[in-house]
Amino acid sequence: MRYVITGGAGFIGSNMSRTLLDQGHEVVVIDNLSTGAIQNIESLVDQPGFCFVNQDVTEAFGVEGQVDRVMHLASPASPADFDRLSLEILAVGSDGTRHCLDLAMAKGARFFLASTSEVYGDPLVHPQPESYFGNVNPVGPRGVYDESKRFAEALTFAYNRRFGLDVRVVRIFNTFGPNMRIDDGRAITNFLWQALTGAPITIYGDGSQTRSFCYVDDEVRGLLALNESNCKGPVNIGSTFEFTLSELADIVLEVTGSSSPIEYLPLPEDDPARRRPDLTLATAELGWEPTVEVREGVARTAQYFRKLLATSDSG
Ligand code: UDP
């Protein structure tokens, strides 16, 4: 099949592109490199069936030839970018999603939306099932991302109802692994580069907030399973390995053998206190579950960041 992947030079998009090429599919990556990186797809450019287009999907765009699947993964996604890229995030969830939906309509392709656990906001229900409508502050600093994705979900289902467009929607929970931006500001990336360079590990708040961390290979396998299933979703895909941020910091220190000290910083506004997906639907519909333990995933990601830091030191 021929896939269009928006955000294909980003973290999850580049891992998905590599998986699809390995499976023998053709992949057109569309990315404006705002938070993605050409290095993430460097090893793919010479592979047959791969093509990269530097394009902002908030502007109308077309793709020549047959397209079977439109995977809309483009968006800045780190809370550290929510202020800096607030308007870009709102635009890619609204105009960007509409352009991708129109492409899928024009090509008779299936449309896939990468939504997020952030649609649940600071959840009052735990773990979070897809039927939970969420607890989002629309005017807070996270509102730009949360509402952008909520709007994208609404738009996707409107196209499905009005035009009969074939759609799939996933809600992605915290995911980590190679091709994350080392300076993206997230907990896993911050903790890892801090541990590897001996800098203090920055815990926001008292470290009692929780997240459930999914290794990217598992996540991509889940997304592709959903895309080829008969279930339009939304479906949660993420890990049920729930840790406090203090526990995560301990794991990172242990796995890297680092003696970085811990530094406590203020908790950002509207930071969700707990997060873990209810995976009943994913298990029943897709037979999917995560397999890579967090320690193992952290070790693999640490190896990737070690290489990256060594290259930037020598460069
Ligand atoms: N966090 C932290 N230290 C950091 C970066 C993040 O303690 O250096 C916390 C953050 O406040 C949140 C959790 O880690 O409670 C996960 O943050 P992240 O940005 O990775 O993702 P989120 O789940 O908030 O989108």
Tens of pLDDT, residue by residue over 72-103, are 999 999 999 999 999 999 999 999 999 999 99
CA dihedral 8, 13, 18, 20 (to 10 degrees): -100
For the residues 50-65, what does the mean pLDDT come to? 97
CA of 242 to the centre of ligand 1 (A): 14
3 counts as catalytic: no
Q: Which one has a higher pLDDT value, 243 or 315?
A: 243
Q: What is the pLDDT of residue 203?
A: 98
- What percent of the chain stands above pLDDT 70? 99
Instruction: Give the position, in ligand 1's atom list, of the atom nearest the Cα of 190.
Output: 8
Is pTM beyond 0.95? Reply is yes
Give CA–CA dist 269/15, Å, rounded.
31
Q: What is the pLDDT of residue 311?
A: 86
Q: What is the pLDDT of residue 243?
A: 97
Q: What is the pLDDT of residue 54?
A: 98
3-state secondary structure of 223: helix
Which of 94, 98, 48 minimizes the C-alpha distance to 70?
98
Q: Which among 75, 145, 211, 252 is the best mutation to test ligand 1's pocket, defined by most ligand atoms within 8 Å of the CB? A: 211
Q: Which domains does the chain have, with CATH numbers?
A: 2-178+214-240+275-291 (3.40.50.720)
Q: What is the pLDDT of residue 210?
A: 97
Give CA–CA dist 153/99, Å, rounded.
14
Q: What is the pLDDT of residue 312?
A: 78
For the residues 214-226, what does the mean pLDDT come to? 98
For the residues 19-31, what does the mean pLDDT come to? 98
CB-based contact 77:114 (threshold 8 Å): no
Q: What is the pLDDT of residue 314?
A: 60
Q: What is the pLDDT of residue 220?
A: 98
What tokens were used for 11?
């973290």
CA dihedral 152, 176, 184, 259 (to 10 degrees): 160
Q: What is the pLDDT of residue 44?
A: 97
CA of 133 to the centre of ligand 1 (A): 22
Q: What is the pLDDT of residue 257?
A: 97
Give CA–CA dist 285/131, Å, rounded.
15
Q: Which among 271, 275, 298 is the best mutation to test ligand 1's pocket, defined by most ligand atoms within 8 Å of the CB? A: 271
Give CA–CA dist 148/278, Å, rounded.
23
Name the residue with the closest Cα to ligand 1, atom 23.
Answer: 174
CB-based contact 220:15 (threshold 8 Å): yes
Which of 145, 204, 215, 304 is the catalytic position? 145
Identify any residues that bridge with 52 across adjacent strands, giving them in sequence order: 29
- Distance between alpha carbon 85 and the CA centroid of its chain, in Å? 16
Pocket of ligand 1 (CB under 6 A): 78-79, 174, 186-187, 190, 202-204, 209, 211, 245, 267-268, 271
Give CA–CA dist 59/61, Å, rounded.
6
For the residues 21-32, what does the mean pLDDT come to? 98
Q: What is the pLDDT of residue 263?
A: 98
Return the amino acid letter for 13.
G
Please list, in sequence order, all residues whose beta carbon lies within 8 angstroms of the beta carbon of residue 48, skipping any fewer than 6 positions away: none
**What is the overall mean pLDDT for the chain?**
97
For the residues 5-18, what does the mean pLDDT come to? 98
CA of 62 to the centre of ligand 1 (A): 36
Residue 152 clears pLDDT 90, i.e. is over it: yes
Q: What is the pLDDT of residue 109?
A: 98
What tokens were used for 103?
């492409």
CA of 187 to the centre of ligand 1 (A): 4
Please list, in sequence order, all residues whose beta carbon lies within 8 angstroms of the beta carbon of residue 21, skipping any fewer than 6 positions away: 27, 44, 47, 49, 50
Q: Which among 82, 245, 262, 298 is the best mutation to test ligand 1's pocket, defined by most ligand atoms within 8 Å of the CB? A: 245
**183-207: per-residue pLDDT in tens?**
999 999 999 999 999 999 999 999 9
Give CA–CA dist 134/158, Å, rounded.
20
**264-293: per-residue pLDDT in tens?**
999 999 999 999 999 999 999 999 999 999
Instruction: Give the position, in ligand 1's atom list, of the atom nearest the Cα of 191.
Output: 8
Residue 315 clears pLDDT 60, i.e. is over it: no
CB-based contact 155:128 (threshold 8 Å): no
Give CA–CA dist 160/87, Å, rounded.
26
Running DSSP on this structure, what letter comes out for residue 112?
E
For the residues 224-248, what does the mean pLDDT come to? 97
Residue 56 clears pLDDT 90, i.e. is over it: yes
CA of 176 to the centre of ligand 1 (A): 12
Residue 117 clears pLDDT 90, i.e. is over it: yes
For the residues 132-136, what does the mean pLDDT come to? 97
